[in-house]
Homo-oligomer: A and B are copies of this chain.
């Protein structure tokens, strides 16, 4: 009895003895339908070869149930961990997650200019990327709900980290442990034009707090090196093989702290006795390494971004939110 016509959800409903609402639910929010019903409906769908008409769907759908995340291409573990927060919040709310990985300015510009027009996504989360005023305005004017993470703009929601405070926390801790010979390692100058510069602020906060305590952060003790292991290790080696090596190093990222630890091990330095190390981020691995670090609640910041976005989608004239997430020093074994 295969009818010549394309089957509609009414046909499926009849064939499986439920209402059309249930058919729709099976396809769109399967978690809301009884497994047994689901099974029955799916088997009818398969039997009839039902495919929902995209046009009818588009018409009836108020929103796309899809949000986009623009992010640097999985470079650092910290991005991933934030993404995990985003993903878990979205999947709970039955939203699809579209990733737009960025590895050049042009790409970023391309996404930002085409996304609002395409209307493929209901909202946008932009992670750790600097966006230009004009792009921010475009997003705003097109009514694209957006949350910026680690960056801010007056016309868009934002979640920021107080990097300077992070530097301060690290400095206080290191001072408290009695260190006087203190160093800093981080990727101070990022080569990418679209990148943000949290490391500078971390250094600033660190340096100022040391200054206030009468400890000077000598220029030779400030090393800039890219995240990559080789670079970080080389920089660490330079620091640690000086005539008067530092007794404590604050690394602007946990992975760099781990590089320092590796070099220290090779030099037979005991941590924290010969060398104290403080990281920044508190990525998963930090706990495995017993690394003392500044926690920036990565998962939670991602989750929060998603939640803010969803709440603004639900109620579009909600006031803009500019949130600063607090930082905490997590004391473990390395400092």
A193 to chain B, nearest CB (A): 13
With A91-B73, A262-B288 as contacts: A64 and B120 at CB distance below 8 Å: yes
A69 to chain B, nearest CB (A): 9
In the complex, whether A46 has a CB less than 8 A from a CB of chain B is yes
In the complex, whether A311 has a CB less than 8 A from a CB of chain B is no
**A78-111 at interface with B (beta carbon < 8 Å):** 80, 83-84, 87-88, 91, 96-101, 103, 106-107, 109-110
A170-B54 Cα distance, complex, nearest whole Å? 52
Contact residues in B for A285 (Cβ distance below 8 Å): 77, 258, 285
**A232-248 at interface with B (beta carbon < 8 Å):** none
A262 to chain B, nearest CB (A): 6
Q: Are B59 and A87 in contact, with the CB atoms below 8 A?
A: no
- Helix, strand, loop or mixed for chain A's interface? helix
Identity of the chain B residue whose Cβ is nearest the Cβ of A2 in the assembled complex: B141
Scoring A57, A87, A96 by chain B CB atoms within 10 A of each residue's CB, the highest score goes to A57
**A24-54 at interface with B (beta carbon < 8 Å):** 26-31, 35, 38, 42, 45-46, 50-54
Partner of A42, one of B50, B74, B113: B113
Q: Are A30 and B110 in contact, with the CB atoms below 8 A?
A: yes
In the complex, whether A287 has a CB less than 8 A from a CB of chain B is yes
Q: Are A119 and B51 in contact, with the CB atoms below 8 A?
A: yes
A45-B142 Cα distance, complex, nearest whole Å? 11
8 closest A-B pairs by beta carbon, nearest first, are: A30-B110, A57-B58, A74-B84, A55-B58, A54-B59, A54-B58, A97-B99, A87-B101
* Chain A interface residues toward B at CB < 8 A: 2, 4-6, 26-31, 35, 38, 42, 45-46, 50-62, 64, 66, 73-74, 77, 80, 83-84, 87-88, 91, 96-101, 103, 106-107, 109-110, 113-114, 117-120, 138, 141-143, 229, 255, 258-259, 262, 284-285, 287-290, 316
